[in-house]
Amino acid sequence: MHKGMKILIAFNLLAAVSSLALASKFFLAPWVAMQFYGEEYKVLMFSCDNAMREHLIAKNAVVAKTDESSVAMLRASELGLISCHDYDRLRKKMLVWGLTEYDLQQLGLEAIEESAEDVRRFVEIHEFRY
């Protein structure tokens, strides 16, 4: 085997390794991240959404009537916003792993749909029937 053939084989190996690396980065890594972090992401997204809603309600209550009770509720709701920090950190981790904004939006919609189903069941069980 002469020198030109060895160089050609080396470039072919380099191309194969590069192709595998790119496939891993753009296909395998996002899939792995979705499998490992997808459910946690849904839970944290829903928790953050609820925490922000409770915080807004508590803030509006303080604006409407400032007393010890409304201020205490506002402070308690601020603690719930910690879940938003966890959600944000996981979101960034998943973006680093190669998921797209679209992938994360899709997970968010799935979380809303799953939670809506839970809420519907909860309401059906606990509502008064006339």
Please answer whether residues 73 and 61 qualify as being in contact, where contact means their C-beta atoms are separated by less than 8 angstroms: yes
Instruction: Tell me how many domains the chain contains.
Output: 1
Where are the alpha helices (H) located in 65-81, listed in sequence order? 68-80
Q: List pLDDT tens digits, range 32-88.
A: 999 999 999 999 998 898 899 999 999 999 999 889 988 889 898 998 899 899 999
Please answer whether residues 46 and 111 qualify as being in contact, where contact means their C-beta atoms are separated by less than 8 angstroms: yes
Please answer whether residues 96 and 88 qualify as being in contact, where contact means their C-beta atoms are separated by less than 8 angstroms: no
- State the pTM of this model: 0.74
Is 31 within the bounds of a domain?
yes
| Domain interval for residue 54 | 26-126
Is 5 within the bounds of a domain?
no
Is 7 within the bounds of a domain?
no
Q: Provide the angle, in degrees to the nearest 10, between the axes of the packed helices 82-96 and 68-80.
A: 20
Is 13 within the bounds of a domain?
no
Is 60 within the bounds of a domain?
yes
- Mean pLDDT for 4-30 is 86
Is 3 within the bounds of a domain?
no
pLDDT for the residue numbered 27: 85
